[in-house]
Chains A and B, each alone.
Chain A
Amino acid sequence: MLNIKVLGSGCANCKKLEASVRKVVANQGLEAEVEKVTDYAEIMKWNVLSTPGLVVNDKVVSTGRIPSESEIKNWLNF
């Protein structure tokens, strides 16, 4: 099962990213656990300086922007 983390505390873009991730997961019928990480100590463990960050199976794939749904699809179907 995929483990997806959206890193970011309360920024508007973080919510948008979480929504697109959930949409891609649903559209692709993937088995995935989507977590929202808002605790700064937890976010900093990933060495991410600009939110929103996206972590797929313990690997940071994107920071500081909202990737397109097709990019997200690629990361989830590696």
Chain B
Amino acid sequence: MSVPSLSTSTKRVEPHPTLVLGVLSLAWLVAYNIIEPLANWVAFSLLGLERGSHLGEAVAFFLYDVPKLLLLLSGMIFVITIIRSFFSPEQTRAFLGGKREGVGNVLAASLGVVTPFCSCSAVPLFIGFVESGIPLGVTFSFLVAAPLVNEVALVMLFGLFGWKVALLYMVSGLIIAVLAGVIIGRLKLERYVEDFVWQIKIGKEALDISKPAWPQRLKLGWQSTKEIVGKVWLYVIVGIAVGAGIHGYVPESALVEIMGKDSWWSIPAAVGLGVPLYSNAAGVMPIVSALMEKGAALGTVLAFMMAVVGLSLPEMLILRRVLKPQLIGIFIAVVAIGITLTGYLFNWLI
């Protein structure tokens, strides 16, 4: 996609952004609707594999799932980035100022989902929030929700399990963030914030940054789609290839005993395994979806994924600059317990 240049000296004629967007959306829809027949045609007609055979089913599964998930990822990340371009951490802070505990936690968790956030700027965000008087617990609701309700994970769940599971993931992520923030707020842990944070004086200058115009929003959407899909596409393909292998070859219910509903220890084990594995939601998901098909329980799988995206080592290392180890420990413990309980709840409900 091209974007009109801001400089007036350029003579290049740029197509209208609406036109570009329309053409791209149409192409996306057409592509999304032909991949299934196309995958079947390639697997069973072109390659001449037998329908119902292990190899044939595995190849068709792979050929359909790879383009489907990549299309879903690019389309939805584009839309999500555009939605997020209407929010900013500065606005969110202004909005959260003066809100009571409780209401503040719910708002902070919800805004954590839609506000553009990179764990690399977690430190200025944290300092800016607490220094402007937002309670510690409310700040934590934001910091838990922002990575936990992860857009890549959301899209992968939607693509692999449907909208109900995706919604369940989002809602439970929000609830964990609200409750974790309320608990941390109640524990009065301000003393475990590094002392220098309370000494920093933030500028009083109101930021006067012009809102991006539509062409810039589209460009932003395009950039982040390229960046995120560029980062995860290989994991998606490898993950689906492994998943396709399991799909075609691992016997039904081989995993029921290990990852099924009746093994209570599988959830804490999944969380413990997920915490050190960060930022690979995209690659992990297709594998776990295939595992689930063979008998692993949904709650166990969701808990695993939440642990992967919600608690990451790099983010903890960044937050360590403003939080003392005790508070980092409490933060990890509260979120990990929340995820574990969510896992049990899902296994019990479904």
Residue positions of A touching B, CB distance < 8 A: 8-14, 40-41, 43-51, 60-66, 68, 70-71, 73-74
Contacts and interface: CB of A to CB of B under 8 A. Distances in A.
B219 interface: yes
Contacts of B219: 68
A11 B120 contact: yes
Contact of B209 (A41, A43, A62, A66): A62
A20 B202 CA distance: 27
Q: How large is the interface on B (under 10, 10 to 19, 20 to 34, 35 or more residues)?
A: 35 or more
B6 interface: yes
6 contacts: A9-B123, A44-B124, A46-B203, A49-B121, A62-B209, A68-B219
Top 9 nearest A-B pairs by Cβ distance? A11-B120, A49-B89, A47-B203, A49-B128, A51-B121, A44-B202, A70-B6, A45-B203, A50-B121
A51 B124 contact: yes
Given A12-B120, A47-B206, 19 more contacts: A8-B120, A10-B120, A40-B123, A43-B124, A44-B201, A44-B202, A44-B203, A46-B203, A47-B204, A49-B121, A49-B125, A50-B118, A60-B209, A62-B209, A63-B90, A64-B89, A64-B118, A65-B220, A73-B7
A8 B128 CA distance: 14
A4 B72 CA distance: 40
B121 A64 contact: yes
Given A12-B120, A13-B118, A49 B90 contact: yes
Contacts of A71: 6
B283 to A, nearest CB: 20
B93 interface: yes
Contacts of B117: 50
A50 B84 CA distance: 14
B278 to A, nearest CB: 16
A65 B209 CA distance: 12
A54 to B, nearest CB: 10
Nearest to A14: B120
A12 B120 CA distance: 9
Contacts of B196: 41
B6 A47 contact: no
A40 B207 contact: no
